[in-house]
């Protein structure tokens, strides 16, 4: 899933590029090339968001809610493995 902060940064970058987009009398083709690149980037970003929305809708419709079991914690070792660890139960004093 895309992070909303990444999406916001991407849109801000597009807005900055658009604000700097001005025709140049020395190289008029550069303006049109930059405009085409910006339009392509905006369309690509919109397509990625559309695919994300579709995939989330399909996953939400297809998968029934999973039954929740006990919480299992994971310990990451130096070699990169994740070892499952059972949560400790709180001791109650006076009861055995």
The predicted structure's pLDDT at residue 84: 60
Render each residue's pLDDT in the chain as its tens digit; 96 residues. 467 788 888 889 999 999 999 998 899 899 999 999 999 999 998 888 888 888 888 877 776 666 666 655 556 566 666 656 665 666 667 655
What residues does each domain of the chain span? 4-62
Q: What length does the chain have?
A: 96
- Both tokens of residue 33? 């090339």
pTM, to two decimals: 0.56
Q: How far is CA 59 from CA 7, 14, 32, 53, 67, in A?
A: 21, 30, 41, 10, 16
- Both tokens of residue 92? 């109650």
User: 22: buried, middle or exposed (CB in 10 Å: 19+, 13-18, 0-12)?
Assistant: exposed
């Amino acid at each position: 899933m895309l992070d909303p902060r990444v999406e916001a940064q991407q849109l801000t970058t597009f807005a900055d590029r658009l604000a700097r987009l001005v025709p140049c009398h020395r190289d008029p083709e550069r303006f049109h090339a930059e405009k085409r690149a910006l339009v392509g980037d905006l369309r690509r970003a919109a397509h990625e968001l559309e695919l994300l929305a579709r995939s989330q809708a399909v996953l939400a419709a297809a998968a029934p809610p999973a039954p929740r079991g006990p919480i299992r914690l994971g310990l990451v070792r130096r070699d990169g493995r994740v070892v499952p660890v059972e949560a400790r139960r709180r001791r109650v004093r006076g009861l055995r």
